[in-house]
Amino acid sequence: MAQLTGNTFDRRLLSRVFGYAAPYMRQFYLALFLTIFLAVLGVLRPWLIGVAVDTYIAGSDAQGLLYIMLIVVVVLVVEAISQFYQTYFSNWLGQSVTIDLRSKLFNHISSFRLKYFDKTAIGTLVTRCISDIETIAEIFSQGLLNVLGELLKLVVVIAVMFVISWKLTLYSLTPIPILVFAMIAFKNSIKRSFQQVRTEVARLNAFVQEHIVGMSVVQVFNREAKEEERFRAINRSHRKAHIRSVWAYSVFFPVVEILSAVSLAVLVWWGVGGVLKAEVTQGELLAFIFYIFMIFRPIRQLADRFNVLQMGIVGSDRVFKVLDTNEHLQDAGTLASGIKGRIEFRNVWFAYNEEEWVLKDISFVVYEGDTVAFVGATGAGKSSVINLLNRFYEFQKGEILIDGVDIRDYDVDYLRGQVAVVLQDVFLFSDSIERNISLQNPLIDRETVEKAAQAVGAASFIERLPGSYDFDVKERGGMLSVGQRQLISFIRAYVYNPKILVLDEATSSVDTESEELIQQAIDALTENRTSIVIAHRLSTVQKAKRIIVMDKGRITEQGSHNELLQMDGAYKKLFDLQFKS
């Protein structure tokens, strides 16, 4: 994995970043050519002005002066046009790399196992996908090419100065060693502060994202003041990190200005004497004054460009760490057809963390077309069963078979396409009802959505909404009730026509009226389809062909509703608690 080094130009990181520029090398070389061209062209104007003073002004040649001033104007126009295209192509290149890298990062993250998201703050991943990648774009638009241009301009300017007068050049460059030392100290200070800034930005994003999503909990428990205090603390850390970089700028830029003034003073002091001794012409002295500004201005800009590179290096390091993270499901399965719906668990053991077993020696069979329910206390392991069935997590021991075939032999995309899950906490995107149902699958048209809504029994409430199926449910379905969101999730499962249906606490958060509608939807969904129903409300599972009772990761009882009541065991106690009261 690429790591930051003490060098601003971390070769491994930069080579990886430039690997994403490979499809756009034509634009890169064009921007590079214009960068070199501008570095050379920039030294012409002071030289032309010096020639104008020594030759045409000193010689009172008005016609010649006019011609050379026209040449200066032409150089300025060419320089402006070249600068425009250099800026355009370098920024275009940066944005093109950004869109490719961001797409790759998003696709990479979306293929991670759920276990990764259990231990990683979502706000941190948002930072990696958005702001960190923006800093990589600036490596091209404001970083490396501009650094190269400024360095090349310095070399050309100093070379021309030596050609004109090596003595005057040496006097002018007296403060440069001090400036180089200041730049090195500035670079190191900025690098440390920028690393801290990116860390604090990630903390801010994670905190804000988490607390806005969980704002209802914050308000219900009257935690606004305490959370504001925590947010202020994170904000203060963020401010401190930025102030460190501001402090470095505040010291470095005055140092550059002072050294520039010293260089100019030395130049004028020695240069005037050289003019009086006829060692230097007035035009050469004037050109040197321009060249001094052309040296110190790029040096000051170089500091900014190095900072952009530092930010890009830090950002790319963070992005590539995510890209190098191997949290993918091992998908060696090739079967992509033939699922009918028979499910079998054989002596399955599973733990989210090593040896902390959530499921212990679980064995059961669900025959094709049957409905089997799982009941038990919270934490009994019911939801873990469906997480394994979809291969969201991997079990450690035993076998899970579908139609007699190990689920690891099925292609993961095909397997998940045949297993629909309706969760208790329904997630809806900020979009229309139709798109939330079809998930923009081109194979699912409006007519299919409407027929599914009729079959599930949800068409009436949808058609009463403004815009009907085009109604925007807003973020997380905030414009709909809990029951309505649940019905949308049933339609979503129905249109995908899965062979296996899983309902995880689908009625636990709805009122009695909504529950009746949802129960009708469940009947429509489970008809002629292998179904697994997980519920706390026993009223929703009494029709199941078989009910499996779980406790502390083990199966303790199984049978039909009546058979379990006759056993007078754990199920009977749950039933009595819910109904006899």
Is the pLDDT assigned to residue 106 strictly greater than 80?
yes
Range 62-86 average pLDDT: 87
Specify the 3-state DSSP secondary structure of 433: helix
pLDDT in tens, 33-73: 888 888 888 888 888 877 777 777 777 778 878 888 888 88
Range 223-233 average pLDDT: 80
Beta strands in 437-572 (DSSP E): 500-504, 530-534, 546-551, 554-559
Name the band, by pLDDT with cuts 50, 70 and 90, for residue 5. very low
- Rounded CA separation 287/49 (Å): 7
What pLDDT does residue 1 have?
36
pLDDT in tens, 381-409: 888 888 888 888 888 888 889 888 888 88
Q: In sequence order, which residues have a C-beta less than 8 Å from that of residue 37 and are 6 or more positions away?
A: 82
Structure tokens at 147: 């650094």
Name the band, by pLDDT with cuts 50, 70 and 90, for residue 6. very low
Structure tokens at 491: 């339609």
What are the sequence ranges of the domains in the chain?
11-323, 343-580
Question: Class for domain 11-323, per CATH?
Answer: mainly alpha
DSSP string, 517-535: HHHHHHHHHHTTSEEEEE-
> Closest by alpha carbon to 359, among 344, 371, 369, 345?
345
What pLDDT does residue 220 have?
65
SS (H, E, C) 36-103: HHHHHHCCHHHHHHHHHHHHHHCCCCHHHHHHHHHHHHHHHHHHHHHHHHHHHHHHHHHHHHHHHHHH
Range 566-573 average pLDDT: 83
Structure tokens at 443: 């194979």
What pLDDT does residue 81 have?
92
Q: In the structure, how many helices (H) and strands (E) does the chain have?
A: 22, 10
What pLDDT does residue 4 have?
39
Q: Residue 118 burial by CB count (10 A; 0-12/13-18/19+): exposed, middle or buried?
A: exposed
**Which region, left, alpha or beta, applies to residue 343 given φ > 0 means left and ψ of -120 to 50 means alpha?**
beta
What pLDDT does residue 313 have?
79
pLDDT in tens, 129-151: 887 888 888 787 776 777 777 78
Percent of the residues in the chain that have a pLDDT greater than 70, as a whole number: 90
Structure tokens at 348: 């399955």
Q: In sequence order, which residues have a C-beta less than 8 Å from that of residue 547 and are 6 or more positions away?
A: 372, 373, 374, 375, 541, 558, 559, 560, 561, 564, 571
Q: In sequence order, which residues have a C-beta less than 8 Å from that of residue 544 and are 6 or more positions away?
A: 371, 372, 373, 533, 560, 561
pLDDT in tens, 491-534: 888 888 888 888 877 665 555 556 666 677 777 777 778 888 88
Q: Residue 208 burial by CB count (10 A; 0-12/13-18/19+): exposed, middle or buried?
A: middle
Angle at 290 between CA 285 and CA 293, to 5 degrees: 130
**By 3-state DSSP, what share of the chain in percent is helix, strand and coil, each rounded to 5?**
65, 10, 25
- Rounded CA separation 542/214 (Å): 35
Structure tokens at 53: 């003073």
Q: Are strands 554-559 and 546-551 parallel, antiparallel or unpaired?
A: antiparallel
Asked whether the beta carbons of 133 and 105 are under 8 A apart, the reply is yes
- Rounded CA separation 488/485 (Å): 5
Q: What is the pTM of this model?
A: 0.66
What pLDDT does residue 515 have?
62
Is the pLDDT assigned to residue 3 strictly greater than 60?
no
Q: Which residue has the higher pLDDT, 104 or 326?
A: 104
- Rounded CA separation 147/143 (Å): 6
In the Cβ-directed half-sphere of 387, how many Cα atoms lie within 13 Å? 17
Is the pLDDT assigned to residue 2 strictly greater than 50?
no
Range 413-430 average pLDDT: 81
Topology annotation, domain 343-580: Rossmann fold (3.40.50)
Element (DSSP H or E) covering residue 448: helix 446-456
- Rounded CA separation 501/180 (Å): 69
